[in-house]
Amino acid sequence: MLTKRIIPCLDVKDGRVVKGVNFVQLKDAGDPVELASFYDEQGADELVFLDISASNEGRKTMVDIVEQTAGKLSIPLTVGGGVSTVDDMHNLLRAGADKVGVNTAAVHHPEIIESGAKVFGSQCIVVAIDARYNEQWKDWEVYTHGGSKASGLKVLDWANQVKELGAGEILLTSMDADGTKDGFDIPLTSRVSNAVSIPVIASGGAGEISHFYDVFQEGLADAALAASVFHYKQFTVEEVKQFLQQNGVEVR
């Protein structure tokens, strides 16, 4: 069977790894190239680099970092953040990324998903969805611009649309759970995973090893992503995998 994947995420700003709590209050947690190799050796199944640089210069730095990192890794690398054109995708893939993540640009111009999938193949295109529960709607809403702008789109509708457009995978971040360390957003993740026939990576809320078990068993996630629990060595990727294996979840 296909194993469940554990994916550390490195938020990179101007060439350095940072991780915010609820998207603000950034802390510095190291060098991306070094950290990436470290996670590869630890048994991570994939890595995600999220570029949160605000400047063009920062973005160019990211391409360099991808190039330095990709050659050293023996696992796949996804790069997202600020990807807004097919050219941006091409630059990152050419530099050595295996997949590219699109978020805000896809909401504004959904055709970028279709074009990207056609040129590079669906398996290269990851659509990142930042979701927050909307009390009025009693449903989840898609946010853009790093979680700062409500889009008016329902998460399930958007997830289905990106699948139809050719996305190969959804990186689903719960803004409600992110930074809380109370566990992944199970209701959100299971709803989306059930609704679409492409893999779903759950993100946001990991605080304990058992949370990973929950998001696979109850949340029906295909992969789980976390950042600070790994960066601050609360536990290791290896420990998560041991726990999962002991509890009957197949891992690599």
Catalytic annotation, residues: 11, 130
When the beta carbons of 29 and 93 are compared against other proteins, the nearer one is 93
Q: Which stretch binds other proteins (CB under 8 A): 14-22, 113-121, 136-144, 184-192?
A: 113-121
Which residue type is seen at 179? G
**Interface with other proteins includes 198 (CB under 8 A)?**
yes
By C-alpha distance, which of 212, 56, 52, 247 is closest to 203? 212
Smallest gap from Cβ 25 to other proteins, in A, equals 33
Q: Which helix (H) or strand (E) holds 68?
A: helix 56-70
**Residue 69 corresponds to which tokens in the numbers above?**
């990192």
When the beta carbons of 98 and 214 are compared against other proteins, the nearer one is 98
**Residue 83 corresponds to which tokens in the numbers above?**
């990807």
When the beta carbons of 108 and 118 are compared against other proteins, the nearer one is 118
Smallest gap from Cβ 10 to other proteins, in A, equals 17
Q: Using the Cα atoms of residue 62, residue 66, residue 69 and residue 71 in order, give the sign of their dihedral.
A: negative
Task: Show the CA angle centred on residue 156, arms to residues 154 and 161, nearest 5°.
Answer: 95
When the beta carbons of 45 and 51 are compared against other proteins, the nearer one is 45
**Residue 179 corresponds to which tokens in the numbers above?**
């930074």
- Tell me how far apart the alpha carbons of residues 226 and 14 are, in angstroms, rounded to a whole number: 21
**Interface with other proteins includes 252 (CB under 8 A)?**
yes
**Interface with other proteins includes 60 (CB under 8 A)?**
no
Among 93, 107, 128, 142, indicate the residue that binds other proteins (CB under 8 A): 93
When the beta carbons of 56 and 197 are compared against other proteins, the nearer one is 197
Q: Which helix (H) or strand (E) holds 118?
A: helix 111-120
**Interface with other proteins includes 45 (CB under 8 A)?**
yes
Site string for other proteins, 61-80 (x = CB under 8 A): ------x--xxxxxxx----
Task: Show the CA angle centred on residue 194, arms to residues 98 and 147, nearest 5°.
Answer: 60
**Interface with other proteins includes 110 (CB under 8 A)?**
no
Coarse DSSP helix, strand, coil percentages of the chain, rounded to the nearest 5 percent: 40, 30, 35
Contact positions vs other proteins (CB under 8 A): 1-3, 5, 40, 45, 67, 70-76, 90, 93-99, 118-124, 168-169, 197-199, 222-223, 252
